[in-house]
Structure 1
């Protein structure tokens, strides 16, 4: 009888894990879909703000060029876009890469969900993933420290 109880508990556990895994995966797919909007930003870093949450922060860029494609800055059901564009400037909300300085070049490719960095002084290239910002503390940091109020 005890083994039957353990088997039932195990089956319920597996079902719950499977349910939460698949429901989370569906939300991720929906969040990622809004990133495919043909947005391409190229600019020069003019300001760096870093939070205390795993080097998350804001890169303020002076735009060299921008292709907005199908991008329309709208409110999302969950999270916020990892970038904002206004008045020939752009903010990128990412984990701030070590060593980045004012004057370095940044390219944001929303379709690839990537940010590419060119460190001018060191003449090195780096890249990092880009995604919808969903962490509540990061969203609060953006709201408090954005240049676009």
Structure 2
């Protein structure tokens, strides 16, 4: 929650398979390689986009925070950077590096930006995603 600094949900790790049925559902709508031409990744329980979509559909606190504009999403590097750079009380930096963003299934590998069409198709609002930065930048 960007206003309280409290997590909306516990961390969801790569091994979490609660997203199995959702991944199958997404693959039915265009094949397992539906987004590979842009993201370089197949639809899989492994990647963050499927996990975030599962949270949006299954956790009312997450869905509510997104509707209310309070949600911020990121991988563990994003959370640590945000907290270490001041978090909600001191204008923390909500960013990630390109290597972590590339494993979300949401980043366009050519532009190194969030792919709007993929986000739209999955129903993930891009405004909750961290800024993508080069690995060589100063983050905070």
Give TM class, smaller chain.
under 0.3
TM-score in terms of structure 1 length: 0.24
TM-score in terms of structure 2 length: 0.25
Going by fraction, where is helix more abundant, 1 or 2? Answer: 2
Going by fraction, where is strand more abundant, 1 or 2? Answer: 1
